[in-house]
């Protein structure tokens, strides 16, 4: 079992729809959770961070964390073609918040 798992996609959604990206992780004591967006040929860019159970909203983005079920998700409302990218889930390794384990990413395609 991979430490951080994401569906590779592509996830295709029409413009204006809600895109839902999911991530599961194996380490029960992980403390910090991040979503990064990566455009093709570019470096990852931080979208959201979340540290406690529940929802965290920032503009069109909502991160959801459920530590009991060991999953974290990212919702993108009113999806735009410019949201088309690979979304990386990153989870801290155990109690060590220095180290992050990255998923291999989900490719999102938003079509007009």
Partner 1 sequence: DVKVTQSSRYLVKRTGEKVFLECVQDMDHENMFWYRQDPGLGLRLIYFSYDVKMKEKGDIPEGYSVSREKKERFSLILESASTNQTSMYLCASRAGSQPQHFGDGTRLSIL
* Footprint on this chain of partner 1 (rule: CB under 8 A): 32, 34, 36, 42-46, 49, 88, 90, 97-100, 102-105
Hey, which bits of the chain come out as E strands? 4-5, 11-14, 19-25, 33-38, 45-50, 54-58, 61-66, 71-76, 85-93, 96-102, 106-111
Shortest Cβ 32–partner 1 spacing (Å) = 8
Q: Is 16 left (phi over 0), alpha (psi -120 to 50) or beta?
A: left
Rounded (10°) CA dihedral 54, 58, 61, 66: -10
Shortest Cβ 17–partner 1 spacing (Å) = 26
Shortest Cβ 93–partner 1 spacing (Å) = 9
Shortest Cβ 102–partner 1 spacing (Å) = 4
């Amino acid at each position: 079992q991979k430490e951080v798992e994401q569906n590779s996609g592509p996830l295709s959604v029409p413009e204006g729809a809600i895109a839902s990206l999911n991530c599961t992780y194996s380490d029960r004591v992980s403390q910090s959770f991040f979503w990064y967006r990566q455009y093709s040929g570019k470096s990852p860019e931080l979208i959201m961070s979340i540290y406690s159970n529940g929802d965290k909203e920032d503009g069109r983005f909502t991160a959801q964390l459920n530590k009991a079920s060991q999953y974290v998700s990212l919702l993108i409302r009113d999806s735009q073609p410019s949201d088309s990218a690979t979304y990386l889930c990153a989870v801290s390794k155990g109690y060590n918040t220095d180290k992050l384990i990255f998923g291999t990413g989900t490719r999102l395609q938003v079509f007009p």
